[in-house]
Chain A
Amino acid sequence: MKLSGAKALLMLPALLLLVAVFLYPLLRYGWLSGHASSVLTGLRPVPNGGANWQRLIEDVRFWKDAGQTLRFAFCSVALELAGGLGVALLLHQPLRGRGTLRALTLLPWALPTTVMALGWRWILNDPHGPLNAALRSLGAPSYGFLTTPATTWFFAVLADVWKTMPFVALLLLAGLQSIPADLEETLRLEGASRIQILRRLTLPLLVPYLSLALLFRLAQALGVFDLIQVLTGGGPGGSTESLSLYAYLNAMRFLDFGYAATVMLATFLLLAVLLGVGWLLLRRARIARTTGGPA
């Protein structure tokens, strides 16, 4: 596509906005990551010859957090897509009270994350929370859900899925409604089973919506902050700390801006590579499908 002068001019405001909110901060991070800028330098940037990057490479905590962030994002997004699809298919059925049901499904999505996380923290409280009260009424001892790394991680994922599945479901529901009903009707008349319709018609036509939900959710989940900060504070023993939380601590609590910028930039690069690879894979899959399979 060739850009005419008028078109380029029309794109200029959007481009300027992108530069201001995206490119400038990135360049600034890049510049700051080459400096020591902490309480010990009086918050003034002092060039430190790549010491921040060297520290990052040797920083066990950064890599551990990176692994934890990826694990969290992949698990929760996978569950959200699967669950969201199920919910969307259910809400697409001509049920009585469907409107009310759809509104109810959206409730968790409408709640502020902080409030939701505080609620979960209370539910899981050991020993006073309702979940432990239920356990004890069954004769079992109370359990430290938020002091055992495995269960803490599990509930962090669960809380995220609970909150954002409605978003995915809503997106996919819109997709479902864009599929012409007569296509489905035709397939059914030709004797296709429900599973066949889902596999051959619904899912392929939903792919654009699925990939949109995937990219949205992945970008959000990889930057998870508020849920972790409120629910676990990164604990126990740092086992749920995410990269965003680590960057935040470096900047706001440790006042170590040079290193915080390095962590942010490294996180950004990591995510850009990941999302880029994901996008390429999706595109290849789509081309493969439209051209009738890979060579």
Chain B
Amino acid sequence: MPLRRLRAGLRRPPGIPGPLAVGLSALLAAMLLALGVAPGLGRLQGAAPQPVPIRALMPAPLADAVAGPVARFNAKNPGVRLEVIRGPLDTEAISDLAISSLLLGEAPFDLLLVDVSWLAKYVAAGWFTPLDGWFGPEVLAAMEPGARLGNSIGDHLWRMPLTGDTGLLYWRTDLMDRPPRDTDELVAISRDLQRRGKVPWGYLWQGRQYEGLSCVMVEVLQAFGARWWDGASGATALDSPEAVAAASWLDGLLRHGVSPASVAGFTENDALQMFAAGEAAFLRNWPYAWREIEKADGPIRGKVGVTTVVAAPGRQAGGTLGTWGLSLIRGSPHPEEAVTAIRWLTGETVQRQLALEQGYAPTWSRLYDDPELQRQAPLLVVQRAALQHPEPRPLTAAYAQLSDLLTRQVNGMLTGQEAPAAAMASAQRQSLQVLRSMVGTPAAAGTGP
């Protein structure tokens, strides 16, 4: 019987022979002694004070991009030890991770690299310390207009921007002489190229049900003169005729075959891979995509132009503001040292390097004026132009909900579950419902930070 054997085994005396047991206990005692004594010995010998640890949580690509500057910072500041925690790649995943630790009270990091779309929510939750004490109003004045947006809420500065990225339009220099000037031209050129068999597809963008689709929507709404968020009334305006026209245009791209149906499942990378394989004339993406295309030895290397996004004829175009910046976590035990790290990481030296090596758009106007950098980073001119009229996402603490709602409806439209007018009307109705229930009264919905 197994059970009886088990019991017998338990009753058997432990099989460690005497001498070995003595040796083991001696070793254990020595280890414990060493653990207790070692720190004291260090103090006796007058070892240098431990550097102040500062931890920053960043999405993996940016964490890798700043690895060099972080090492230089630590070499220059022996009193501080800056450590970057490599978070997940996906923007939403890293926000979920940060929120999980912030909700528990003591976050294991002092700095958080914050996407522009999170700021209102985090500030409303009371998780950040304002930076006004360290950075005066003149700091933002030295930046490009678009880079100044989305850092201040109320009268306080909550975030120092590290990148000035906006949505951009990529086009094929081997297929056309100049980029399209408006949405009509974009479609016309696409269809002409498709008809002549030059490319299977015209325009690639991000249509999966996720935050990237909201970025696309911000641009398309702006391109047709619609507004997602009316800051004055604190409400959404998604059922306006202009907004429906914007949604219809996007829907038409799929229905008329300018964009493949698979766009409805595309993230940035899916769209980039297909464009880099030479299968389309246009791509909507962030600045990093240009370096990716030029680095890879693909069929369209050296045949790609970059320009600002386009609007409907007679409308003002604006690329979605997608900037990242550093915020100071409330309750960080070492705010002074943390701000030193912010100063260095968001400073001109590091931004210059990020622009050269990764293609991230700088925020400082002085960098855009630098002829040397202009020569080495050809995207700079376009990035600066895009930063003159960028489109921020709704600056409200309820943004995550509104964005989730809109992408759900629009993705439903793209996958043929709903017509554009119905999808937008539904998004509008649900948005107002959410705003009402979060604060109680509709009038108070806009008084969030």
Please list the residues of chain A having a beta carbon within 8 angstroms of any beta carbon in chain B: 36, 38-43, 48, 51-52, 55, 58, 60-61, 125-128, 142, 144, 146-149, 233-239, 249, 252-256, 259
Contacts and interface: CB of A to CB of B under 8 A. Distances in A.
Contact of B448 (A40, A127, A238, A249): A40
Given A42-B124, A149-B415, A237-B417, A249 B440 contact: no
Given A39-B438, A40-B438, A144-B415, 16 more contacts: A36-B439, A38-B438, A39-B124, A39-B125, A48-B440, A125-B270, A127-B274, A142-B262, A144-B264, A233-B209, A235-B209, A239-B417, A252-B99, A253-B96, A255-B125, A256-B438
B275 to A, nearest CB: 13
B125 A43 contact: yes
Interface in B84-101: 92, 95-96, 99-100
Contacts of B262: 126-127, 142, 144, 147
Interface of B: 92, 95-96, 99-100, 121, 124-126, 208-210, 260-262, 264-265, 270, 273-274, 397-398, 400-401, 404, 408-409, 411-415, 417-418, 430, 433, 437-440, 448
B438 A235 contact: no
Contact of A51 (B417, B418, B437, B448): B437
A255 B121 contact: yes
Contacts of A256: 401, 438
B404 A253 contact: yes
The residue among B273, B397, B418 with the most chain A CB atoms within 10 A of its own CB is B397
B125 A147 contact: no
A234 B265 CA distance: 12
A237 B411 contact: yes
B411 A51 contact: no
5 contacts: A36-B437, A40-B398, A55-B437, A235-B265, A237-B413
B96 A252 contact: yes
A148 to B, nearest CB: 7
Contacts of B437: 36, 51-52, 55, 259
Given A127-B260, A147-B264, A149-B417, A36 B208 contact: no
SS of B interface (majority): helix
A41 B92 CA distance: 23
Contacts of B124: 39-40, 42
B41 to A, nearest CB: 44
Nearest to A124: B265
A236 B99 CA distance: 26
A238 B433 contact: no
A107 B208 CA distance: 31
Nearest to B120: A39
Contacts of B408: 234-235, 237-238
A144 B96 CA distance: 28
A128 B400 CA distance: 30
A125 B417 CA distance: 20
Given A127-B262, A237-B412, A253-B95, A51 B126 contact: no
Contact of A36 (B273, B433, B440): B440
Given A127-B274, A149-B417, A238 B438 contact: no
B398 A39 contact: yes
A236 B415 CA distance: 7
Given A148-B415, A149-B415, A239-B417, A40 B404 contact: no
Nearest to A48: B440
A127 B92 CA distance: 24
A39 B397 contact: yes
Contacts of A126: 261-262, 265
A236 B397 contact: no
A264 B95 CA distance: 22
A40 B95 CA distance: 18
B210 A233 contact: yes
Nearest to A128: B273
A147 B265 contact: yes
A252 B415 CA distance: 27
B412 A51 contact: no
B264 A234 contact: no
A184 B223 CA distance: 75
Nearest to A246: B404
A295 B439 CA distance: 57
B401 A254 contact: yes
A263 B67 CA distance: 42
Contacts of B430: 60-61
Contacts of A236: 209, 264-265, 411-412, 414-415, 417
A127 B275 CA distance: 12
A61 B210 CA distance: 17
Nearest to A252: B96
A42 B127 CA distance: 10
Contacts of A38: 438
Contacts of A55: 433, 437
A61 to B, nearest CB: 8
A39 B433 contact: no
A147 B415 contact: yes
A239 B438 contact: no
B418 A40 contact: no
Nearest to A238: B408
Contacts of B260: 127
B100 to A, nearest CB: 7
Contacts of B261: 126, 144, 147
A238 B96 CA distance: 19
Contact of A239 (B95, B270, B400, B412): B412
Contacts of A144: 261-262, 264-265, 415
B46 to A, nearest CB: 47
Nearest to A249: B404
A126 B201 CA distance: 14
The residue among B126, B208, B438 with the most chain A CB atoms within 10 A of its own CB is B438
A18 to B, nearest CB: 24
Nearest to B96: A252
Contacts of A127: 260, 262, 274
B440 A235 contact: no
Contacts of B265: 125-126, 144, 146-147, 235-236
A236 B92 CA distance: 17
A238 B92 CA distance: 17
A239 B413 CA distance: 12
A234 to B, nearest CB: 6
A128 to B, nearest CB: 7
A173 B260 CA distance: 47
B98 to A, nearest CB: 10
A43 B92 contact: no
